[in-house]
Chain A
Amino acid sequence: MSSSSNPSTHHTSTIGSIGTPSRRNTELALLVFAVVIPVFAYANVGLAINDSVPPGLLSYGLGLGLLAGVGHLVVRKFAPYADPLLLPVATLLNGLGLVLIWRLDQSKRLQALDNFVQAAPRQLLYTALGIALFVVVLVFLKDHRVLQRYTYISMVGALVLLLLPLVPGLGKNVFGARIWIQIPGLGSIQPGEFAKIVLAVFFAGYLMVKRDALALASRRVIGLYLPRGRDLGPIIVVWAISILILVFETDLGTSLLFFGMFVIMLYVATERTSWIVFGLLMSAAGAVGVATFEPHVQQRVQAWLDPMREYTLSQEGVAGHTEQSMQALWAFGSGGTLGTGLGQGNSDLIKFAANSDFILATFGEELGLAGVMAILLLYGLIVERGVRTSLAARDPFGKLLAVGLSGAFALQVFVVAGGVMGLIPLTGMTMPFLAYGGSSVLANWALIGILIRISDTARRPAPAPAPNPDAEMTQVVRP
């Protein structure tokens, strides 16, 4: 045996809380709170619109409570050390989304539209399915590191999911974006939402293996570390794929989401700022390039730069123009600081997609700046818990996966909220949990399930140290 001490001299540090209580009771208390708030909102909407407590109040409250309770019991059983905030915050957002969708169902203006359906019962069904998927993830995914084995299968899976909408006969073109697939008998789903999670698994597995090559084998040119050509390959491929999505599916949001997620994970894996510079330059170049050639994207940019013109055109009946973005801005404006009160706004003027892409505008009008800030903070809390989970995770794959998933979540919130508020061109994405849409709800519950699984592993108290090999008896010298 050689001299010297411990061979393990890694300078990575872990952050763990002292004693690590399981926090399950905190979660339960917060969960009760998170169910009571939407019930309050539901009663409020009913009183404002119909002057009476809505008849479905009890069943809605019990239903949401039951779903949350099932989620809590499963977490208690299968992930006892998981983060106490993720489940309550997701439940609250989902519950509030349900209430607002129901509120928009009551709108006379929307009921007059020819493609109107009662969305709230369906959303409740999707929520139930989402919680079911959450339960399935927690029960069957005992250890998130299992996903690491499927790195390249995930890559193929994600590509297939992304390309499915392009398959003739399967994909369908909805209002300029080809991001849906039609499954006979099941309805339509948006595979991009699921591809987000699968792609995060691939990136995490890939970067875990390649991070050293990407971080260390680089030349320094004017203060930036330029990676070698062969290491640059994957980022170029991902970039090209996201540009292709943009061109063929005309889906700006998904494209931004995937590329952004990859750059975030690359930065976290390598700690090289140059990747962020690269990523920003490449996405800017790609966006500008596509915007000059693709009329659909061009029109979105036009509508973003001058929403009033877009509104006027749509009022004049010019085809292909929509009043949505201007109406959304007016909704935010008329909400003011404290809002008009639930059920008392006119955000239904947005008409199409008022309960999906534009649901944040309803929030903005009826709850005002104060309400929107609270909602954005709730999203921020989910992202913060994800990043925190990543910090506490002990394995690099878990770290990267958690940061990738929460980064994707954050980007999605940014892209949607920014689009609705007019900060960036509008893209057809859904606000996680709030918006109406089965794929989105299902995928985001699965995402929360994976984050809870990683956080359970990360926060679990370290196992008792192995019996010390030094503890054998010292032989006694007998004179």
Chain B
Amino acid sequence: MSELTLTVMRLGFLAVLWLFVIVAVQVIRSDLFGTRVTQRGSRRDAARQQPAARQAAPPQQRQQAAAPNGGGRQRRGAPTKLVVSEGTLTGTTVALQGQTITLGRAHDSTIVLDDDYASSRHARIYPDRDGQWIVEDLGSTNGTYLDRNRLTTPTPIPLGAPIRIGKTVIELRK
């Protein structure tokens, strides 16, 4: 066998070997791009709601500690907590820290309502750009009532005004 042929085969073999390595790396390239990282136990903006959900568990004490750092520059007279005043969840509070609070029977709601008359995604409460808290009905079956009026549009919530969802009444307090 001539020297030249063997040299060509030798270099050819190395080239083929490296080609395999490169092709293999191309195959795993899809791991680097086109992947997504899923945080367990959170969907969409639920991650942001979790601090609030935790604080809801031991209601009163945690909330005071959290209040000062919440919201940064809060307006005077702005509500700091949401309190459930009627219904099965009476006494539950959720600190208001600029996050959206969802209410409904769905398990991923901030406040899960165990109430046959509530829809799974019933209403949400969120601050607008000025820090004014707004309640919005999410197309629920039985409607959301602020004082005694059924909501049709997102409405600012006055301090202490009762919001009625099914058998549950909540209000914002300082």
- Which A residues are closer than 8 A to B by beta carbons? 1-6, 8-18, 23, 26, 30, 33-34, 36-37, 40-41, 44, 47-48, 51, 84-85, 88-89, 92, 338-342, 344, 367-368, 370-371, 374, 377-378, 381, 384-385, 388, 468-471, 474-477
Among B16, B21, B88, contact of A378 (Cβ-Cβ < 8 Å): B21
From the candidates A3, A6, A10, A41, name the one contacting B108 in the complex (CB within 8 A): A6
Q: Are B40 and A16 in contact (CB under 8 A)?
A: no
Confirm or deny: B100 has a beta carbon within 8 angstroms of a beta carbon on chain A: no
Which residues of B come within 8 Å of A, CB atoms? 1, 5-7, 9-14, 16-18, 20-21, 23-25, 27-28, 30-31, 34-42, 46, 49-50, 53-54, 56-57, 84, 88-89, 92, 94, 104-112, 114, 116-120, 140-142
What are the residues of chain A within 8 A of B140 when measuring CB–CB? 474
- B39 touching A11, Cβ below 8 Å: yes
Are the CB atoms of A40 and B89 closer together than 8 Å? no
Nearest Cβ in chain B — how far from A24, in angstroms?
12
> Cβ of A1: which chain B residues have Cβ within 8 Å of it?
88, 112, 114
**CB atoms of B1 and A48 under 8 A apart:** yes
25 CB contacts below 8 A, A to B, read A3-B57, A3-B92, A3-B112, A4-B53, A5-B49, A5-B109, A6-B50, A11-B39, A13-B39, A17-B30, A18-B34, A26-B27, A41-B13, A44-B9, A85-B24, A338-B14, A368-B14, A370-B18, A381-B21, A381-B25, A469-B107, A470-B120, A474-B117, A474-B118, A475-B116
Across the A-B interface, give the 5 residue pairs with the lowest CB-CB distance, nearest first: A341-B10, A8-B41, A470-B120, A1-B114, A4-B53
Tally the A-B contacts, defined by beta carbons under 8 Å.
170
From known contacts A48-B1, A339-B10, A341-B7, infer whether A3 and B111 are also in contact, taking CB-CB under 8 Å: yes
Q: A8-B40, A470-B120 are in contact. Are A381 and B24 (CB under 8 A)?
A: yes
Q: How far is the CA of A236 from the CA of B23 in the complex (A)?
A: 44
User: In angstroms, how far is the closest chain A Cβ from the Cβ of B94?
Assistant: 8
A388 neighbours in B (Cβ, 8 Å)? 28, 31
What residues of A have a CB within 8 angstroms of the CB of B11 in the complex? 338
Residue in A closest to B102 when the chains form the complex, CB atoms:
A5
Closest Cβ of chain B to A365, distance in Å, is 12
B102 to chain A, nearest CB (A): 9
B79 to chain A, nearest CB (A): 18
Contacting pair B35 A15 (CB below 8 A)? yes
Contact of A344 with B6 in the complex, beta carbons under 8 Å: yes
Smallest Cβ-Cβ distance to B141: which chain A residue: A474
CA distance A342 to B9 in the complex (A): 9
A37 and B13 alpha carbons, distance in the complex (Å) = 8
Cα–Cα distance between A37 and B6 once the two chains are bound (Å): 16
Least CB distance from A473 to B in Å reads 9
Q: CA–CA, A47 to B8, complex, Å? A: 12
For the complex, would chain B's binding face be called helix, strand, loop or mixed by DSSP majority? mixed
**Cβ A40 vs Cβ B40 within 8 A:** no
CB contacts (< 8 Å) of A85 on chain B: these are 24, 27-28
Q: Which residue of A lies closest to B57 (CB)?
A: A4
Give the chain B neighbours of A3 by CB distance below 8 A. 56-57, 84, 89, 92, 94, 111-112
Which residues of chain B are within 8 angstroms of A11 by Cβ–Cβ distance? Answer: 39-40
Task: Note all chain A residues with C-beta closer than 8 A to B107.
Answer: 5-6, 469-470
Whether the pair A14, B38 counts as a contact (CB closer than 8 A) is yes
B40 CB → nearest A CB, Å? 5
Contact indicator B30/A5 (Cβ below 8 Å): no
Residues of chain A within 8 A of B120, CB atoms compared: 468, 470-471, 474
Contact B142 A474 (CB under 8 A): yes
Instruction: Give the complex CA separation of A5 and B116 in angstroms.
Output: 18
- A47: chain B residues at CB < 8 Å are 1, 5-6, 9
A191 → B minimal CB distance (Å)? 32
Cα A367 to Cα B36 with chains together (Å):
40
- Min CB distance, A440 to chain B, in Å? 22
**Is there contact, CB below 8 Å, between B112 and A5?**
yes
With both beta carbons as reference points, the residue of chain B lying nearest to A26 in the complex is identified as B27
Beta-carbon contact of B16 and A40 below 8 Å = yes
Q: B6 and A51: CB pair below 8 A?
A: no
